Structure 1
Amino acid sequence: MNNLIKMNNRYIGGDTPCYIIAEMSANHAGDFNRAIDIIHAAKESGADCIKIQTYTPDTMTIDCDNDYFQIKKGTWKNEKLYDLYNKAYTPWEWQSKLKEEAEKVGLDFLSTPFDQTSVDFLEDLEINFYKIASFELTDIPLIKYIASKGKPIIISTGMATLGEIEEAVKAIKEMKNEDICLLKCSSAYPAIPDDMNLKTIKNLKETFGVPVGLSDHSLGSVAAITAVAIGASVVEKHFCISRDIENPDSSFSMEPNEFRGMVDSIRAAERAIGKVSYKVSEKEKVSRIFRRSIFAVEDIGKGDIFDENNIRVIRPAYGLAPKYYNDIKGKKATTDIVRGTPLKWSMID
């Protein structure tokens, strides 16, 4: 397995900066111009990549009214699956133009295919890498078909057992493709912190030896920043122009100012994480003077004995180091010393 994988012109994993994906999904709300606006807003908000989804209602399910196809709980309660996908899908005739616009403004373009026809379509678009959704992680034939294209694959792992993740990874490897990134995910919309179990990120990395990130459906940016702090190489977050524009994904998506704030916090967290270092920084050197040292706290005459009454370990650090305190006690002063003077070896017999 690879600890680093290449996405377009940059690497993901290891000590590289977190790769940040803005997920458009249904937030275009059926308006092509809004989709274009989302691409520009994502770029301005610090995203590295814009992601869409490639499906139609008919590639996802069938138009059927019986009980199996009704959503009973959650954000989309009382929706029929076919109708939900009809509201949410991104028309295929838009997608080449969206890819062109993304690349023009300097964003990578990524999509999630949901069946073989959508993979073929994205191959014709010359897409450079693929995303597999949590709900498709168990669709091994689809995963193998995607893997056969020989391009890097990002897989969300929401709802999956460890065994199911192992099967998906094995399926990709069987197609001679080892460029895999796994995303920890809680497939609830929105996800709540109690269910996110971000420590799994480290375990996934250790178990599979691949870059690991977070597909984040929670509100706010705490989970994303925390994930980066514990080793996430990728963060994916739903992105919209405004949550007031109603669509199936708006309620758990980030607006541009929120996304910008998340990106800035992630970059600040990366700088704070830094590297293993015991080097004293220039700013720390300035502060070192406020350490403790040995001072005369009473006037001391030449020949007087140093004791706990006339010398103390106090701030600042202009005198001898505290570790010499017990060595100095009991010795004589070689000169008169005024109260408030830092001790030097020349003052000690």
Structure 2
Amino acid sequence: MVIDNHRPVYIIAEAGINHGGDMRVAAEMVRIAAAAGANAVKFQSFTASGLAHDSLAADQHAFFSKYELGRREHAELNELCRSEGIDFLSTPFDTDMLALLEELHVPAYKVASCDLTSLPFIAAIASRRKPMYISTGMGSMDEVWRAYETAIEHGCPQVVMLQCTTQYPTPYPQVNLRSMLAISDEVGCDVGFSDHSIGNWCCFAAVGMGASVIEKHFCLDKSVAGPDIPGSCSPEELTDLVQGIRAIEQAMGRRVKQMQESEEQIAGIARRSAFYACDLGAGHVLCEQDLKFLRPGTGLAPQAAMQLLGRELRMSVRSGAQVKSADFHLLEGEAGSEPAEHALQRDVLGADA
């Protein structure tokens, strides 16, 4: 897997712990993510004992234990992803889980915001020499720098730093998408967005700002209780997210301003060209009041017609007739040829054809 700004945005459907420890739900989430068109579905790999100290209350350990996925579950989900044509990803929270994911040949690794400052762990992940994307929730720019440098120094071939706010759901004023640009400018790395806000709008904005990776939590049922559910999207919203991102990618275009193919025929209808505003006799010297500029734009454009001001008509013309450079006497030195700008005007808009 290679992520860059010249390829389609890599969309990660974050299952996280929204499966509630139920493998049937987890498997259905894989199928939903694949059907929506996401590039990857991501889970979280941890054990309660490997995540939290014994000093935490027993109910906290029970909470984490509920969402654990064992070796067998990881293997089954990995195989299901392969059959569904979607990448299997998971965030490791300790080195044992990192080793398990390595055995499953995951294509990339994710570092959670809580481990942005866990530099030894980042180094261990980076040593696997696979792409990494690192969430930056709760982080400062200095911490982002240190995490990025650690990953690069320990062999990671590509690091994508994800703007993230560790709040579920994230209020819009706290999303701070512009910090994604600050990371790109200061660190000089690829950037993306891990979204915890409600709806897809922030993801769409991030794509327009240059995100190469989008990560969004989703769930099967938004009425079910869970810590990540409030900021998660439904299966239908996940489909809308993917379709919206793909549409935005097409709409982004190139940093060149030019007439589009679809506009070429319209230009001849929608633009204006020069017409005579009144009857004029031969020998009349053209002035601005003699002209009006109307659709269609198949004749001389206004700027080209204005070049004829002060010239003498060599024939009578009727009101409403389209202005042509051939209606006028040539200026001295034109040697019987039409001025270059008029010839260009004819070539572009089909005037006098």
2:202 paired residue among 223, 238, 242: 223
On the 8 A contact 2:160/2:189 being kept in 1, the answer is yes
TM-score by length of 2: 0.87
Aligned equivalent of 2:176, options 183, 197, 204: 197
Q: 2:128, 2:307 → 1: CA distance?
A: 74
1:28 match: secondary structure:
coil
Q: Distance in 1 between matches of 2:107 and 2:242?
A: 24
The question of whether the paired residues in 2 share the 8 Å contact of 1:129 and 1:151 is answered with: yes
Contact 2:48–2:65 (8 Å) recurs in 1: yes
1:170-181 alignment runs, 5 A limit: 170-181=149-160
Query: What is the identity, as a one-letter code, of the residue corresponding to 2:317?
Result: I
Q: For residue 118 of structure 1, what is the aligned residue in structure 2?
A: 97
Distance in 2 between the 1:146 and 1:324 partners?
65
The equivalent residue for 2:327 is 347
The counterpart of 1:29, out of the listed 6, 10, 20, is 20
Q: Distance in 1 between matches of 2:85 and 2:56?
A: 43
Query: Structure 2 regions of 5+ residues with no counterpart?
Result: 330-353
Task: Please give the alpha-carbon distance, in whole angstroms, between the structure 2 residues aligned to 1:219 and 1:331.
Answer: 66
> Which stretch shows the higher mean deviation, 100-109 or 190-199?
190-199
How far apart, CA to CA, are the structure 1 residues paired with 2:258 and 2:304? 24
Identity of aligned residues (%): 34
Once residues 179 and 304 of structure 1 are traced to their aligned partners in structure 2, the CA distance between those partners, rounded to angstroms, is 72
Tell me by how many angstroms 1:63 deviates: 4.8
Select 1:309's aligned residue among 283, 286, 289.
Answer: 289
Q: List aligned pairs for 1:148-297, cutoff 5 A.
A: 148-289=127-268, 290-297=270-277
Q: Is the 8 A contact 1:26 1:87 kept in 2?
A: no
2:40 counterpart of 1:49? yes
Q: How far 1:325 sits from its partner (Å)?
A: 4.1
Bigger drift between 25-34 and 173-182 goes to: 173-182
Q: Secondary structure at the match of 1:135?
A: helix
Give the SS at the match of 1:118: helix
Q: Greater shift after overlay, 21-30 or 327-336?
A: 327-336
Superposition CA RMSD, Å: 1.9
Once the two structures are superposed, residues 20-74 of structure 1 have per-residue CA deviations (whole angstroms, 9 ceiling, x without a partner) of: 00011122122211111110110111100010000021111135466xx9xxxxx
Unaligned runs of 5+ in 1: 1-6, 70-79
Q: Give the Cα separation in 1 of the matches to 2:249 and 2:107.
A: 27
Q: Is 2:152–2:159's contact at 8 Å kept on the other side of the alignment?
A: no
Alpha-carbon displacement from aligned partner over 1:294-334 (angstroms, at most 9, x marks no partner): 21122223333433333123333233222244432333322
Q: Is the 8 A contact 1:87 1:247 kept in 2?
A: no
8 Å CA contact 1:13–1:211 kept in 2: the answer is: yes
Distance in 2 of aligned mates of 1:307 and 1:329: 5
Q: Who is 2:312 aligned against? A: 332
Residue 67 of structure 2 is matched in structure 1 by: 88
Q: Match of 1:301, SS?
A: coil
Q: Taking CA–CA contacts closer than 8 Å with sequence separation of 6 or more, which of the two structures ends up with the larger relative contact order?
A: 1
1:142 pairs with one of 97, 115, 121? 121
- Check whether the contact 1:26–1:90 (CA below 8 A) recurs between aligned residues: no
Given that 1:320 and 1:344 are in contact with CA atoms closer than 8 Å, whether structure 2 keeps it comes out as yes
CA contact (8 A) 2:198 2:230 kept: no
8 Å contact kept, 2:286–2:309 = yes
Structure 2 counterpart SS, 1:51? strand
TM-score, scaled relative to structure 1: 0.88
Partner of 1:3: none
Shift of residue 209 of structure 1? 2.7
Cα distance, 1:84 vs. partner? 3.2
Question: Which protein shows a greater Rg?
Answer: 2
Q: Matches of 2:33 and 2:152 in 1, distance apart?
A: 33
1:32 is matched by which residue type in structure 2? Answer: M
Runs of 4+ in 1 over 4 A off after TM superposition: 63-66
Amino acid at match of 2:139: A
